[in-house]
Structure 1
């Protein structure tokens, strides 16, 4: 067996939120000389960035985070060492940790989020207990596999409960949105995409041309929910993948059919609780199910990986860009400025 690494490179947050200053710093850290009984050492090959990473490094997370923590919760890697009581993983397995390491079955009452309550995965080696690691689909390359844990599992959880032939509204063109688009198409759903950029929408219509992709520009149509209703003959969509937060939630509910679902997965827009006027009446009148999506459980991630393997689905068409690990600062800024369509990935 080759010698195992004794140190790792990792990016830690600077927690300096002044515009224009570095948000992460590359450090070298010691790795333990011996793994605990059920721990697994993973060599990271790719790390996918999410808006959440840019938001946390810029001080915008609405919940407390550990000081100077390691960002990111989307990664794919290879098992290179295991503790002496590891049962289900072997050296050479392709794995990724789950985002909420307390959420194994969706029945747990606690939570612990990577890159917030505990260190994330922006490192060349990571160590996790085997109970929070999932095996990844064998046919995906490392870049594509790295988008599964957070963006993929969030999209998978957000789309639960929508049957073949129904209609979904997916907000934006970020990582979760594009993964949701792929899953929705594979599940036989009619998709409406919203964005503030005609160019992004036109590019997506060309890329996903069959069946035709429906689109709405919420910048040129401030009352965009009315445009969505027009596209559904006044009925509304069966489900919304909601990423805006308080500034978009009411309109999302207004264009959801009675008894439909709004899956709240993010808070990209500026939050203003005054936007919630009429919320209770709208929920009752439209019988809307509003559910929070906090990525998903280990079971959800395992189920998603099984579905990807069964369909041999690939994701090269929603990879926006790749950069080397050392360019983490630039990649985080790229996400912060909202330039991506799909996923931005760092390769190690």
Structure 2
């Protein structure tokens, strides 16, 4: 076994105190799980990216069970510094990221295991994973940019599967998945309609992506935003929706999707609604022949495909970063995401 002399790690574990205004993270120093298992890899972490999911878990809003006081976050980029004696696919010095769902490698598995939920996440300066749960990072990406790919990037990639040049995509919000979906959609030749409750955010995005221009809708000022989206598409509807809202927005998303189109459910940001609000769900699905699909990031193979696509033309990702924090500012970074201040991705730099 190739080994490093590192035996301890610094990490942030959840306090599981969901009272508003109380700390959501606790700094710990703990022993690494050594010696390494035969196919395990020890990674020195250089960057950790946050998602809304992390802030939601820290504040007790996750709809699925999580382990008590777990380590937060599922997005990281780091360097292999030690390997087990049976590791075949990786070497010391390789740059890697773990997959978000360590039980979903090929895409054909029937199980799942989410980082920061079913198992500890990656908000630490050293992490250990089995080699099959790791994907090599493209050489051109720096640590910060590479760290945003595993969850936000792969989710956007999965949500846009089936897209074709010239189609129209409706993207909800300006968080990490949304801005990554914009990046991929523009590269693929799609027309974009972006929604947000903030005119300021929409103006920033229109200025940032002015050629070709994007279309925008403020859903706060336009409660019947689905009708506005239909108008923007000549009454036909969009081809794909990157659906971030959940129960509170799903019906409107279905109504402004063309017949035979796709709605990719990637999030659950909106408040829960009364069951009656979804009474037209099945009739609308059938009438509009819509493919409604749940997206939970993607498999390791999906991440490798995305890495290959990004590397082919060395797609820059730095424009998707809203702000970087130091590792020690993890609590502040989580609160920043929880308050929805970001346009794009928030990253901890180690």
Q: TM-score range by the shorter chain?
A: over 0.9
TM-superposed CA distance for 1:32, in Å, is: 3.5
2 CA distance for matches of 1:204 and 1:30?
A: 44
TM-superposed CA distance for 1:318, in Å, is: 1.2
Partner of 2:293: 291
1 CA distance for matches of 2:155 and 2:34?
A: 35
2 CA distance for matches of 1:322 and 1:7?
A: 25
Q: What SS does structure 2 have at the residue aligned with 1:235? A: coil
Contact 1:246 1:273 in 2 (8 A): no
Q: What SS does structure 1 have at the residue aligned with 2:81? A: strand
Q: Which of 309, 314, 319 lines up with 2:311 in the alignment?
A: 309
1:210 is aligned to 2:204: no
Runs of 5+ consecutive residues of structure 1 not aligned to the other structure: none
Deviating more after overlay: 265-274 vs 22-31: 265-274
TM-superposed CA distance for 1:277, in Å, is: 2.0
TM-superposed CA distance for 1:273, in Å, is: 4.2
Q: What SS does structure 2 have at the residue aligned with 1:334? A: helix
Q: What SS does structure 1 have at the residue aligned with 2:249? A: helix
Partner of 2:199: 198
Taking the TM superposition and a 5 Å limit, the aligned residue runs for 1:325-340 are 325-340=327-342
TM-superposed CA distance for 1:3, in Å, is: 4.8
Runs of 5+ consecutive residues of structure 2 not aligned to the other structure: none
| CA distance 1:109–1:33, shift in 2 (3 Å) | closer
Q: What SS does structure 2 have at the residue aligned with 1:239? A: strand
Partner of 2:100: 99
1 CA distance for matches of 2:11 and 2:32?
A: 11
Partner of 1:16: 17
Q: What SS does structure 2 have at the residue aligned with 1:168? A: strand
Partner of 1:233: 234
Taking the TM superposition and a 5 Å limit, the aligned residue runs for 1:29-40 are 29-40=30-41
Q: Deviations over 1:187-243 (max 9, x none)?
A: 111111100011101111111111011111001100000111111011000000000
2 CA distance for matches of 1:33 and 1:300?
A: 30
2 CA distance for matches of 1:183 and 1:149?
A: 15
Contact 2:3 2:81 in 1 (8 A): no
Deviating more after overlay: 250-259 vs 25-34: 25-34
Partner of 1:270: 271
Partner of 1:90: 91
2 CA distance for matches of 1:322 and 1:214?
A: 28
1 CA distance for matches of 2:36 and 2:288?
A: 53
Q: What SS does structure 2 have at the residue aligned with 1:323? A: strand
1 CA distance for matches of 2:184 and 2:263?
A: 17
Runs of 4+ more than 4 Å apart:
none
Contact 2:54 2:73 in 1 (8 A): yes
Contact 2:33 2:128 in 1 (8 A): no
Deviating more after overlay: 41-50 vs 275-284: 275-284
1 CA distance for matches of 2:6 and 2:115?
A: 23
1:73 is aligned to 2:71: no
2 CA distance for matches of 1:107 and 1:276?
A: 31
Q: Deviations over 1:246-299 (max 9, x none)?
A: 010000000000000000000011112422121111011100110000100000
What is the CA RMSD across the aligned residues, in angstroms? 1.0
Partner of 2:190: 189
Partner of 2:248: 247
Q: What SS does structure 2 have at the residue aligned with 1:246? A: coil
Partner of 1:341: 343
| CA distance 1:302–1:2, shift in 2 (3 Å) | closer
